[in-house]
Structure 1
Amino acid sequence: MTGGLRVLAVDDVPAALDELCALLHDAAEVVEVAGAADPITALRMIQSDRFDAVFLDVAMPGLDGLELAALLARLSDPPVIVFVTAYDKHAVAAYGVGAVDYLLKPVRAERLADALTRVLRVLRTKDPEPVDTPAALPDAMAALPVESAGRTRYVRRNEVHYVEAHGDYVRLYTKTGVHLVRMPISRLEEYWEAAGFVRVHRSFLVALGAVRELRSDAVGGLLAHTDLGDVPVSRRHARDLREQLLHAARNGQLDRTGRG
């Protein structure tokens, strides 16, 4: 894959299709969006053109989204499938036909960004020329522009101790203050994970080099202590954080924080 994503959205409800197309249009990863109001039209479009990903509703008349996905899976080079539906009861079946994500309506920009990240990861494994894929994006995000009072300041990645999600924005915690940037935390995680930032909670990323110790809170939860405060660590992320801290300590990476 070269350039941005070419995406097909499929939904038999016009308002829902328009909303999904608009969300995809606004996504930085997407270069082109097409819409289909029914699965048969979508199948014809896929047969005559190439799409990187298809965002599918499940409940549609005639051929439903699950049946269409099963047909697409038989192609020699099928598009990546993401389901978009108002019901969660089809999730198991959706993953069973190879979908990479399952979005519930109404779709939030942060969840859409997370789904697009999954799509990109799948496409990278298929791409014989990774040099031309968005894999080069993380280095381009070594500093983020922050707008304030008509001025633009660039916050360097190595100044950031941890990141907190705030809707479609993130808060960057540095020794010079807290900076608000318009970007979903899932997208920033994709850009910064190679630089030592770890997802420790649905709402937090922390720089491994900024973690001074792990602590227990008053109710037995885990906290990652930094010079700027404690960051909550969810149970699902606790083991991974411990392992990454141990690996970083063994390689001397915790001594080279360069923060503030």
Structure 2
Amino acid sequence: MGTAMTGLRVLAVDDVPPALNELCTLLREAPEVDEVLAAGDPLTALRMIQSDRFDAVFLDVAMPGLDGLELASLLAKLSEPPVIVFVTAYDKHAVAAYGIGAVDYLLKPVRAERLADALARVLRVVPDGPVENSAQPQALPDAMAALPVETGGRTRYVRRNEVHYVEAHGDYVRLYTKTGVHLVRMPISRLEEYWEAAGFVRVHRSFLVALGAVRELRSDSVGGLLAHTDLGDVPVSRRHARELRERLLHAARNGQLDRSGRP
């Protein structure tokens, strides 16, 4: 019965459900592990780590939206970061992984004896023994202030304050900025969740707009509403029109509509 205080509390993160299930099963069977939680995407993982405490995070490297290396470098900024173990099908990331401070690097398919080695390393570096469940949440840096964009095999970052509006495109979103249109693999509903607090409003099932980018509201030729921005007009559906007007009024009162601060 004494394992509750000695077992590790672990979060497993992978965007491929069978791989995540397999990893969780292996971890649950390991005697060093007391509790395993799972996250199917990096943003969910980030939220769980913000509101909870884990001894270790077993992290897939190649994930859409925010890859494992980027997530790990954010976690490294915490006052008491969890121990990171990368899990991936590719060994080419290993150098970067160790640069970020991962204690181990597991290649898929993960074997139980190799996992035992990794858990032994985790136990060596977990300060003062595993955490208890009642630990305080930690404040994380704003993970979504910039999004990685792949172009021609290179990754660059588009800052949120450069984006005037966002258009849904299947599993992707298009970010409209002065430097062009950038495609990011992330559903618009998830981006809305993360950018809502930063002044982005859902104005249509396929569009988010930055309140500060809206110059005026216009009627189109068939009586619909358009939010006019320097980069084009964004359709506003009837169900979102009232909320947009209220948010714009509120922002104007609070002096939040001046875009001069936006690059």
Cα 1:163–1:130 shift into 2, 3 Å: farther
Cα 1:129–1:245 shift into 2, 3 Å: farther
In the alignment, the residues of structure 2 paired with residue 181 and residue 233 of structure 1 have an alpha-carbon distance, to the nearest angstrom, of: 22
Cα 1:255–1:29 shift into 2, 3 Å: closer
Question: In the alignment, which of 139, 147, 161 is matched to residue 144 of structure 1?
Answer: 147
1:246 maps to: 249
Question: In the alignment, which of 197, 200, 221 is matched to residue 200 of structure 2?
Answer: 197
How many Å apart are 1:129 and its aligned residue? 7.7
Cα 1:207–1:29 shift into 2, 3 Å: closer
1:225 maps to: 228
The correspondence of residues 88-103 of structure 1 with structure 2, limited to 5 A, is none
Rg comparison, structure with higher value: 2
In the alignment, the residues of structure 2 paired with residue 172 and residue 222 of structure 1 have an alpha-carbon distance, to the nearest angstrom, of: 21
Q: Find the residue that maps to 1:253 and give its secondary structure.
A: coil
Q: Establish whether residue 162 from structure 1 lines up as the match of residue 168 from structure 2.
A: no
In the alignment, the residues of structure 2 paired with residue 236 and residue 226 of structure 1 have an alpha-carbon distance, to the nearest angstrom, of: 20
Contact 2:171 2:185 in 1 (8 A): yes
1:237 maps to: 240
How many Å apart are 1:257 and its aligned residue? 4.7
The correspondence of residues 68-107 of structure 1 with structure 2, limited to 5 A, is none
2:186 maps to: 183
**Counterpart residue identity of residue 180, structure 1:** L
Contact 1:167 1:184 in 2 (8 A): yes
Q: Find the residue that maps to 1:248 and give its secondary structure.
A: helix
Question: In the alignment, which of 19, 41, 44 is matched to residue 27 of structure 1?
Answer: 41
2:137 maps to: 131
How many Å apart are 1:149 and its aligned residue? 0.8
In the alignment, the residues of structure 1 paired with residue 227 and residue 10 of structure 2 have an alpha-carbon distance, to the nearest angstrom, of: 38
Contact 1:159 1:258 in 2 (8 A): no
In the alignment, the residues of structure 2 paired with residue 233 and residue 244 of structure 1 have an alpha-carbon distance, to the nearest angstrom, of: 13
In the alignment, the residues of structure 2 paired with residue 240 and residue 233 of structure 1 have an alpha-carbon distance, to the nearest angstrom, of: 10
Give the TM-score normalised by the residue count of structure 1.
Answer: 0.51
What is the CA deviation profile of residues 115-164 of structure 1, one whole-angstrom value per residue up to 9, with x for unaligned ones?
xxxxxxxxxxxxx98835xx857x11100111111211110000000000
Identity across matched positions, percent: 79
Give the TM-score normalised by the residue count of structure 2.
Answer: 0.50
In the alignment, the residues of structure 2 paired with residue 192 and residue 158 of structure 1 have an alpha-carbon distance, to the nearest angstrom, of: 10
Contact 1:217 1:223 in 2 (8 A): yes
**Counterpart residue identity of residue 148, structure 1:** T
Q: Which runs of 4+ in 1 moved over 4 A?
A: 2-6
Which segments of 5 or more consecutive residues in structure 1 lack a partner in the other structure?
Answer: 7-16, 32-127
Which segments of 5 or more consecutive residues in structure 2 lack a partner in the other structure?
Answer: 1-8, 23-37, 46-133
Cα 1:149–1:208 shift into 2, 3 Å: same
**Counterpart residue identity of residue 143, structure 1:** A
In the alignment, the residues of structure 2 paired with residue 235 and residue 206 of structure 1 have an alpha-carbon distance, to the nearest angstrom, of: 15
Cα 1:153–1:241 shift into 2, 3 Å: same
RMSD: 3.2
Q: Find the residue that maps to 1:161 and give its secondary structure.
A: strand
In the alignment, the residues of structure 2 paired with residue 30 and residue 212 of structure 1 have an alpha-carbon distance, to the nearest angstrom, of: 34
In the alignment, the residues of structure 2 paired with residue 235 and residue 159 of structure 1 have an alpha-carbon distance, to the nearest angstrom, of: 27
What is the CA deviation profile of residues 164-196 of structure 1, one whole-angstrom value per residue up to 9, with x for unaligned ones?
000000000000000000001111111111110
Q: Kindly tell me the number of residue pairs found equivalent between the two proteins.
A: 150
What is the CA deviation profile of residues 26-58 of structure 1, one whole-angstrom value per residue up to 9, with x for unaligned ones?
433567xxxxxxxxxxxxxxxxxxxxxxxxxxx
Q: Find the residue that maps to 1:218 and give its secondary structure.
A: coil
